[in-house]
Amino acid sequence: MYDLVEHVPPGRVTTYGAIARALGSGLSARMVGWALNGSFSSSRNIPAQRVVNRNGQLSGKAHFATPTLMQELLEKEGIRVKNDTIENFKQVFWDPADSL
């Protein structure tokens, strides 16, 4: 799963559910979220900030080192965030199934 998250291009986002569907392993979106929480202790640089919920909301922001870090990382990549939600979500959405 981390390999798939590493392929999300900078300036784009995907969802927990899209990753679960792309894996085709029966994982639920919640399981993907749970697994991403483990990425923070990984020696790999997993861009977990690029994974949001199905509405484009930064639902995983509480798991970052600071309450604003997820948004800050996304904004550095040119993604606009307002009220913890990705603006123009449909335009910046990246479907991992298209890369398999």
From first to last of its 100 residues, the chain has per-residue pLDDT tens of 889 999 999 999 999 999 999 988 766 988 999 889 888 777 788 999 999 999 999 999 999 999 999 999 999 999 999 999 999 999 999 999 887 6
CATH classification at residue 34: 1.10.10.10
**Cα 25 from chain centroid (whole Å):** 18
- The torsion of the CA quartet 72, 75, 76, 79, rounded to 10 degrees, works out to 150
Domain count, the chain: 1
Domain range holding 30?
2-99
